[in-house]
Homo-oligomer: A and B are copies of this chain.
Amino acid sequence: MRHFRDELDELENKLVDMGRLVESSIHNSVYSLVERNEQMAKEVMWTEALINQQEMEIDDLATRLLALYQPMARDLRFLTSAIKINTDLERMGDMAVNITERALTLMKEPAIRPLIDIPKIAELAQGMVHNALDAFAERDADLARQVLRSDDEVDRLRDAVYDELLEFMQEESGTINRSVALMFIAQNLERIADHATNIAEDVLFMVKGIDVRHRAETTD
């Protein structure tokens, strides 16, 4: 039987790897639209299958470690956090697929405007996922708090995108279908950022044993 620490490391590495896949899917989902590149869209769909596979493997591994080693305190919190982080990552993969489905429709039509803010939200969200997983791997509470702060910026940009798109629709009804599709893309990115925020909260709980959910942690 391998040592418990090695197994925990393996679990952590698997989650970090899954995070990298999710990051690439966030990027590809939005840039498939920016660059009108169907190949990038296909990549997201394929990556989704890999992410789902990893979710099941990680869940099995975490549950097996709980049963086999009956960990206490910090290790127990690590394992229950891993189970939750796993779920958040898998849902982000779903959001990237939602974005890609909209992108595939939109790329067949003329652009209604340069997509300045949407790629910016995508990069922020991708960075949040990256930092949340780094914070998890490094037990870095400061980095986790930084993720919580980024979420406010994502919300602000998302609101700006909504306002701009509502104006477009009102001025030119021919843009309504495309504007609504872009709104849903912005909203899916905002949900990805929310999932990254959930991970950061789990990391803070794991590292500090403090529960920041439902508190105004971001205003610190």
Contact = CB atoms under 8 A, between A and B. Distances in A.
A138 B166 CA distance: 47
B169 A214 contact: no
Contacts of A62: 80
A104 interface: no
Nearest to A169: B176
A71 B67 CA distance: 7
Interface residues of A, number: 31
Contact of A83 (B55, B83, B169, B177): B83
The secondary structure that dominates the A interface is helix
Given A166-B180, A170-B176, A173-B169, A66 B76 contact: yes
14 contacts: A52-B214, A55-B214, A56-B213, A56-B214, A62-B80, A66-B66, A66-B80, A67-B72, A67-B76, A80-B83, A166-B176, A169-B173, A169-B180, A180-B183
Interface of A: 52-53, 55-56, 62-63, 66-67, 70-73, 76-77, 80, 83-84, 87, 166, 169-170, 173, 176-177, 180, 183-184, 187, 211, 213-214
